[in-house]
Amino acid sequence: MHICSCTLSYSTMCCCCCSLCCGNLWKREWVIHPDRRRTWDVITLLLVIYTSLAIPFAVAFAPRMPLGLVLLDITVDLLFMTDIVLNMFTAY
């Protein structure tokens, strides 16, 4: 038993609001620790750089994009959507 810091009562389990102070936050499978996302963040940064160069070039010089670039842009968009979902499960 321990004293819950939110309710100041004895409890055998932490309540949801004090799971951060009890240290149980990192034990949950669906919470991603911020330090474990470095590689993903570097990949996302490279994709942002690619997008910032490819979109203006395609708009200015390529009226019809080749199928390979269209598929690459769709893949990049799907990875950005995946990044949004991962951000919702990353601890602050």
pLDDT digits (tens, 9 = 90+) for 29-82: 778 777 778 888 999 999 999 999 998 988 898 788 889 989 999 999 999 999
Domain co-membership, 1 together with 43: no
Domain co-membership, 22 together with 63: no
Domain co-membership, 43 together with 16: no
Q: Please report which confidence band the pLDDT of residue 15 belongs to, taking 50, 70 and 90 as the band edges.
A: low
Domain co-membership, 55 together with 88: yes
pLDDT confidence of residue 87: 85
Enclosing domain of residue 77: 32-92
- Transcribe 19-36 into DSSP letters: HHHHT-GGGSTTPBPGGG
86 has a pLDDT exceeding 90: no
Domain co-membership, 36 together with 10: no
Which is nearest to 44 in space by CA: 8, 86, 7? 86
Q: Can you tell me the mean pLDDT for 1-22?
A: 53
- pTM assigned to the model: 0.62
Domain co-membership, 12 together with 36: no
Domain co-membership, 38 together with 65: yes
Place of tokens 């670039």: 69
